[in-house]
Structure 1
Amino acid sequence: MADRTSASMTIGASAPEIMAVIADFPAYPGWAEGITAAEVLSTGDDGRAEKVRITLEAGPIKDTYVLAYDWDGDDAVHWDLAEAGAMLTGMTGAYRLAPVDGSTEVTYELAVDVRIPMIGMVRRKAEKRIIETALKGLKQRVEA
């Protein structure tokens, strides 16, 4: 897997409030741009998703894949690709949350591999766009 791309944003809410939105996968089509469906396939003892089938329609890219999640309370969640899609062959990512003056700094890390050849610089630019869009959507959803 390639180097991860990351970005951070401060959200005016507590880590548990933010993590509750991140963990609510069925609601993703309402705020996560490009995600048209998110089906929880299995959950852990804490009730949070362990595996989720994601359907993505982002411009010309349409794919369905399964991600496996590992939760660190309300501090972080990490994921890896459990089942590849037609386009997506690899993915690792994380949300890391840290309290900052009554708000929370959310850092999103992402590395994606696709079947089509892609120059590293182009891939990182695409990852950056995905991250920035996701953080903005998360902020709007949490602060609404």
Structure 2
Amino acid sequence: MAINETREIVIEASPEEILDVIGDLDTVTEWSPPHQSAEVLEKDKNGRPLKVKMKVKAAGITDEQVVAYTWSKNKVSWTLISSGQQRSQDASYTLTPDGDNTKVTFELSVDPVVPLPGFVLKRAIKGTVDTGTKGLRDRVLELKKGDA
């Protein structure tokens, strides 16, 4: 059974700045603790990742997975191609500009293979969504501060 979670956060940056951080998978392990490694297998003409192999650890389970990314002006989404621990995974960031800020909506749907107690699974999903919002915001602001 898939677990779905949605979270919104406001980031004091442009959609482009946020998409640049999301697309920089060479540094994802620096700001996303679940990500142990990420290797871009295929890029689009703009250099953004299209297919990525990653090792992710959540709820004490390490998973090697390959995901396919789809990029548009104010949205990036990905879907699971292969995984040892998940039947499916779909996620997206939708970015809505608001003056100097951007409202970021992160949606995640995961269907694990391994039967986990509900509270363990919910805690793992919450941690992933926290990293995907608060961790992303912290990283974007850290990079903006470095540019100032």
* TM superposition score normalised by structure 2: 0.86
- How far is 1:122 from its partner? 6.0
Pick the aligned partner of 2:101 from 99, 103, 116.
Answer: 103
Q: Gapped runs of 5+ residues in structure 1?
A: none
In the alignment of these two chains, the number of paired residues is 142
Cα root mean square deviation, aligned: 1.9
Deviations 1:52-87 (A, max 9, x none): 0111123511111000000012x00111001122x1
1:64 maps to which residue?
64
Q: Aligned equivalents of 2:66 and 2:15: distance in 1?
A: 25
Structure 1-normalised TM-score? 0.89
Name the SS for the 1:46 alignment partner.
Answer: coil
Matches within 5 A, 1:1-144: 2=2, 4-73=4-73, 75-85=74-84, 87-118=85-116, 123-144=121-142
- SS in structure 2 of the partner of residue 47 of structure 1: coil
Using the alignment, how far apart are the partners of 1:116 and 1:55 within structure 2?
17
Q: Which runs of 5+ in 2 are unaligned?
A: 143-148
Q: Is the 8 A contact 1:33 1:134 kept in 2?
A: no
